[in-house]
Structure 1
């Protein structure tokens, strides 16, 4: 504060009034002596110009004009290898407050490296703290900010007087701290908040400085530190940090990109432009920079944020395939789960995952194996290796009964998708007592989701040749209609409209959004005669409905048709292959006696007029019936 007041006073000093006589004497008799003074004061008189990109001049002046001096003591301390050596050097030489700060920082580094307990209780360490406490004003800015983290790591209580004094000194100097020092301070403040201690004045002042001076950001390390502590900041500052990261993405190392991506995932911020830039620049990196943990972290981030970038996925697969033998069981299951969330199936890579399990099944935990199976089921990866499933069933012999109810349901459902479920697995999850565990205290949406899965499992038991009798209507249907109704997509709405035109607007001939006993929803149900014309079906038996339909059997030559709309989300990424859930839906409807007419989005939504859509449905219906008759 004194320095700033002197600078302001010095600007006005040359303009202070003088008497005419004194001024004349100054100009005539001492002109040669005053010339240097005049040159010096011109810079004070002229207004200073500072562009936004030049950063905080106060911070630069503080660090540039008063550089840190590496004294003899500091040189010796930096060469010390153990905490005791650092303490011994301080005891022999002593030092100033600035040297005490550097010694404490080096002491903490040695404690982390070598390990040591009770360092703060050592009289030599207390001597450092006492010296520091009396000479805080002489400590350099970087050391002062580093002391907060150092003393916290050494175990100094948050309410200790020394920490309070350092925080007050930091608060007093906060405008003179560089932006990098502010980022380190934000990191420490976030840690203190997590531990339940917070200096509200320091936090609010720090956030204000970060908000006002964000244009000073110029290095990737500072950006990654701040983005990792985004819970402290306002949304506007996070947007600015993302803009800065996008601006500097080209200069980031692969490790910097990993940190930024993980920071986005931790805050669940789906910054698409930044993620695209990171993907592009990562794809340009040489192979030796793309370490296996980095690739797995990026896959996890993209899976969590639902961000698809097929070019990078191909690079990831090409990098991981030669390294599969080096991966651990946790890395394989984690990678498979991330790629399943992205709906991206790379056949050679997933075959490698399966072979990794066959070769290292004893190293897989039950949870890791379940995650691998669920990833295979989500992507409908039908593996032809019997040895793989033999090892899976053998591993489940001892651990299946002890699985948590939700995980057990997911596992059995996945085995049904993969055509590997047996009667023992299914009977264990359809018991009323087990279903009560799924619904007790659960969230309504989650409970409904698992009820649907149990219906699918019962459908597998009824429709697949397992020889297991299951009464789904008595066991699985809820007492009241579920409030969680699935929303109708644009494709389904368009399909319903076209089907009404196909059925000539006859309600008795068409049912839409039909919820079946099997847990599957049919977008449109028709019964057609031998000429593929819709007929009334109100009086016909409908074993797929909860109420069973009418009393009459289907006449000879008639066929039951199920129209199913396949949206973009029903397919694997960049593919026309159905995901496991919808492949099982198609299989079950066919086994239930339906001729399934598939209506994919990439064909139906391209049709513009209503008559084109109706003609398309008639053509698809005719082809489906012809294929069924040809079998």
Structure 2
């Protein structure tokens, strides 16, 4: 630790005035403070033991602040505009706490910071207080920052910031590996702040994010709901779903839900982010569902909407579903939704949860509603696919549905569904593998548009011995019509790895139409496996589905 008190005492004895610390060497060798008194005369140097890296930055800032206490600066602040109230408060202070209270609140000027540090320097030199009694106090650190803000000192990028140092140090480090190394030295709230700042700046540094995820997960401190919501939003925005971090956040949210929560906005934010992340944690979802049910009287409509959207996307029926649906579904209405697109999302969610009534379905499939969406220029591909899903549910699942449906010749019915590059890569690999078992093109259909908002990756017919038959052959009564659906990473939830709600909906449509559904998830089918292994996998799945 720098012996400022000793330096100050020695210099005061020699000159009766405060010394000026002209330079502090922060090299790895023993630290030497070179001190001159106001007349420029040399003062004996004081050598101190090597400090660890984490202490250096704080000490450097403190040293620079004390270096501001030369005659010129002290005289300058005395000649500035008077501030009687604050000046009196500084002059009358008797304790460290009283003098540092000046730094509390907003609008602390450099003048006042210099006066306070000057008083503390005098107290230290006179032996009234010791430097270690206040050097780590956040209020003192704040004053030091004010004094060193414009200092012409170039920080060493290898120095680790103290817990009270400005987080911009981490965010401004050019090298990601250096920034990642600095993360372990800051507090949990500061880590959350760094994560949210990265999200705001859309800076997706994988190395830095991994360091944050590791250190936040390892922290014994609990996250409150606001920090959990901020983290989930940032993780979603940066597309960085670290499983361990998500698990910690979930555990802390569940624990916090038992407390006295007065507003629902933070719950709505958590639900929205969980849905966007497709993170399926059953305990978390049940806890959030239970809280919404108990506190629905203080919940905003959008928070209830977020619950149903998230449950639908993740295909999760909560443990309190009977009561939850009974109480909340009647509260879902088009007037509360406000915008047509939001109401479409709500009805689509109810369809995925198999809770939509005929009135719900009719309200979005009628011509006037669709025109309303078109007039607002919100009939995007996503909206079209949701309308197709709802239309398919009405035609295939709902018995004796007599309400409006999409006309066969409508533009929406003819929507072309394009695959992502990742999905196309997997589907192509699965179909190429399947062609080794079903060689005739007459026996295999691929990329079949159902008109219900999804494509069948491959369809074919097998007899009871797994022999392929022509697709249009209807003579064999024991033949089984099979729809193969390949699920890539984005088709599955995280946490509990299962098909998402829309993929479960598609599977239910196909089953209702007489198909046997062969699901091929990326967790089982490895595109880079040898062909012989992939063929054996598909063959075993076909035998299993035919024999059941």
Task: Quote the Cα distance in structure 2 between the aligned partners of 1:357 and 1:419.
Answer: 20
Q: Report the equivalent of 1:556.
A: 477
- Match 1:516 to one of 446, 450, 454: 450
8 A contact 1:463–1:591 mirrored in 2: yes
8 A contact 2:406–2:413 mirrored in 1: no
Task: Quote the Cα distance in structure 2 between the aligned partners of 1:355 and 1:536.
Answer: 51
Question: RMSD across aligned C-alpha pairs, in angstroms?
Answer: 4.4
- Match 1:67 to one of 42, 66, 69: 69
Task: Quote the Cα distance in structure 1 between the aligned partners of 2:88 and 2:283.
Answer: 65
8 A contact 1:308–1:342 mirrored in 2: yes
Q: Does 1:302 align with 2:245?
A: no
Q: Report the equivalent of 2:220.
A: 286
**1:17-96 correspondence to structure 2 within 5 Å:** 63-67=65-69, 89=85
Q: Structure 1 pair 608/482, CA: closer, same or farther in 2 (3 Å)?
A: closer
Q: Report the equivalent of 2:256.
A: 323
8 A contact 1:415–1:421 mirrored in 2: yes
8 A contact 1:529–1:535 mirrored in 2: yes
Task: Quote the Cα distance in structure 1 between the aligned partners of 2:515 and 2:417.
Answer: 28
Deviation at 1:220, TM superposition (A): 5.2
Q: Does 1:266 align with 2:268?
A: no
Deviation at 1:568, TM superposition (A): 2.5
Task: Quote the Cα distance in structure 1 between the aligned partners of 2:417 and 2:314.
Answer: 29
Q: Report the equivalent of 2:125.
A: none
Deviation at 1:502, TM superposition (A): 1.8
8 A contact 1:514–1:523 mirrored in 2: yes
Q: Does 1:366 align with 2:301?
A: yes
Q: Report the equivalent of 1:386.
A: 322
Q: Structure 1 pair 92/563, CA: closer, same or farther in 2 (3 Å)?
A: closer
8 A contact 1:523–1:564 mirrored in 2: yes
8 A contact 1:422–1:466 mirrored in 2: no
Deviation at 1:325, TM superposition (A): 3.3
Task: Quote the Cα distance in structure 2 between the aligned partners of 1:324 and 1:258.
Answer: 20
Deviation at 1:482, TM superposition (A): 4.5
Task: Quote the Cα distance in structure 1 between the aligned partners of 2:380 and 2:181.
Answer: 45
Q: Structure 1 pair 111/581, CA: closer, same or farther in 2 (3 Å)?
A: same
Deviation at 1:403, TM superposition (A): 2.9
- Match 2:381 to one of 431, 448, 457: 448
8 A contact 1:221–1:256 mirrored in 2: no
Q: Report the equivalent of 2:271.
A: 336
Q: Structure 1 pair 587/480, CA: closer, same or farther in 2 (3 Å)?
A: closer
Task: Quote the Cα distance in structure 1 between the aligned partners of 2:535 and 2:68.
Answer: 82
Deviations 1:125-159 (A, max 9, x none): xxxxxxx9xxxxxx769779xxxxxxxxxxxxxxx
Task: Quote the Cα distance in structure 1 between the aligned partners of 2:484 and 2:386.
Answer: 21
Q: Report the equivalent of 2:167.
A: 224
Deviation at 1:588, TM superposition (A): 1.4
Deviations 1:174-226 (A, max 9, x none): xxxx99569968xxxxxxxxxxxxxxxxxxxx9xx999975677345555246
8 A contact 1:562–1:595 mirrored in 2: yes
8 A contact 1:511–1:525 mirrored in 2: yes
Deviation at 1:517, TM superposition (A): 1.4
- Structure in which a larger fraction of residues adopt helix: 1
Task: Quote the Cα distance in structure 2 between the aligned partners of 1:598 and 1:479.
Answer: 25
Task: Quote the Cα distance in structure 2 between the aligned partners of 1:601 and 1:591.
Answer: 25
Secondary structure of the corresponding residue to residue 603 of structure 1: coil
**1:150-229 correspondence to structure 2 within 5 Å:** 218-219=161-162, 222-225=165-168
8 A contact 2:224–2:253 mirrored in 1: no
Task: Quote the Cα distance in structure 1 between the aligned partners of 2:156 and 2:104.
Answer: 31
8 A contact 2:264–2:303 mirrored in 1: yes
**1:473-488 correspondence to structure 2 within 5 Å:** 473-474=407-408, 476-478=410-412, 482=416, 486-487=420-421, 488=423
Deviation at 1:522, TM superposition (A): 0.9
Aligned residue-pair number: 455
Secondary structure of the corresponding residue to residue 296 of structure 2: helix
8 A contact 1:345–1:573 mirrored in 2: yes
Q: Report the equivalent of 1:494.
A: 429
**Larger radius of gyration between Structure 1 and Structure 2:** 1
Task: Quote the Cα distance in structure 2 between the aligned partners of 1:58 and 1:109.
Answer: 25
Task: Quote the Cα distance in structure 2 between the aligned partners of 1:338 and 1:534.
Answer: 45
Q: Structure 1 pair 467/392, CA: closer, same or farther in 2 (3 Å)?
A: farther
Q: Structure 1 pair 415/528, CA: closer, same or farther in 2 (3 Å)?
A: same
Q: Report the equivalent of 1:602.
A: 523
